[in-house]
Amino acid sequence: MEHTWDILTYLIDGCAISIFLFLIAAVFIPALKNVRSTYLRIANTTFSILGLIALGISIVLYSMIAIDLRDNELLGFLSHRAKFILAGLLLLGIVPIMALFGKRVTQTGFTCLLLIVVIIITHIDATSQWLTNLTGFYSFPGGHLYEAPIVKWYRLLIALLFFVICYWFTRRKISRA
């Protein structure tokens, strides 16, 4: 399961890099500006599906933690933390679902919100630790529990592949219209 989660993390990070760089490039390159709405529709739909897969896996894992550690007095703080993370995940899951329905999927502001939310869903442990450190609430006695995947060049390769595939589908859709 650990390798599956790492691969999903690489996919999501690569897609986020690709969409972010496309938004920046669309400002300066007129050819990309002309296909921006079609590209964002394809890219955001794909990205939100990946985000929903990560959300589903996270909900299953954190509910198992909340249920398994509920009766253990020593690790009860992890169960409490898992319940708060589950509530946050369910609230964050609204944005990827909204990306599947409606016309806002082609808007740049909504795309930025989707990027932020799916990255938070994927890296929820690091986000919760960061928020805990920022607020000063010391909610768990253990050290840092989050282990980020090893930084590799895979993210850049996935970003390039995601851009090329989405751009190809965009050009194909535009040429048919």
Which are the contacts of 56, defined by CB distance < 8 A and separation ≥ 6?
A: none
pTM of the shown model: 0.79
| Structure-block tokens of residue 62 | 């954190």
Q: What is the pLDDT of residue 75?
A: 57
Distance separating alpha carbons of residues 66 and 117, to the nearest angstrom: 23
Q: What is the pLDDT of residue 27?
A: 93
**pLDDT < 50: residue spans in the chain:** 141-144, 146
Distance separating alpha carbons of residues 26 and 35, to the nearest angstrom: 9
Note the pLDDT tens digit of each residue in 37-85.
999 999 999 999 998 998 888 888 777 776 766 566 555 555 566 677 7
Which are the contacts of 50, defined by CB distance < 8 A and separation ≥ 6?
A: 8, 11, 12, 15, 118
Which are the contacts of 89, defined by CB distance < 8 A and separation ≥ 6?
A: 55, 58, 59, 62, 121, 124
